[in-house]
Structure 1
């Protein structure tokens, strides 16, 4: 758990804050937690504390997919080889 200056940062609880829209159940994962932007930077969001939340990696990627934000392709790919 990390708690910084409360005037600048809210306390990161160390648990996923994702709530399923359909069932209302809350994810309680503590694995691979990431700080997520509620309104993504790519869509004009900010780094202000009120725009940040903690999500597990799975729910962070799910949220990005729902917003249409594609993952970047890897910089380097294996060259295709031809077999004769």
Structure 2
């Protein structure tokens, strides 16, 4: 298992690719590393670091793309078996 954690976040995004489990933690409540990039939170919520928020969004997109690649490879493999 490969694990990477960033010190500034409590939320975990997990992706599984080819048998490896990767855990990446990303900013939720204000990042000490990127103080100049903090956005004010909505009612009752903590501030969010712009950079960390972008990383979280990108990680989500990566997970979606990896799932799509896996699905398409499975379809391709099935077609190759039929031919």
Q: Same fold (TM over 0.5)?
A: no
Q: TM-score normalised to the size of structure 2?
A: 0.26
- Higher strand content, 1 or 2: 2
Q: TM-score normalised to the size of structure 1?
A: 0.26
- Higher helix content, 1 or 2: 2
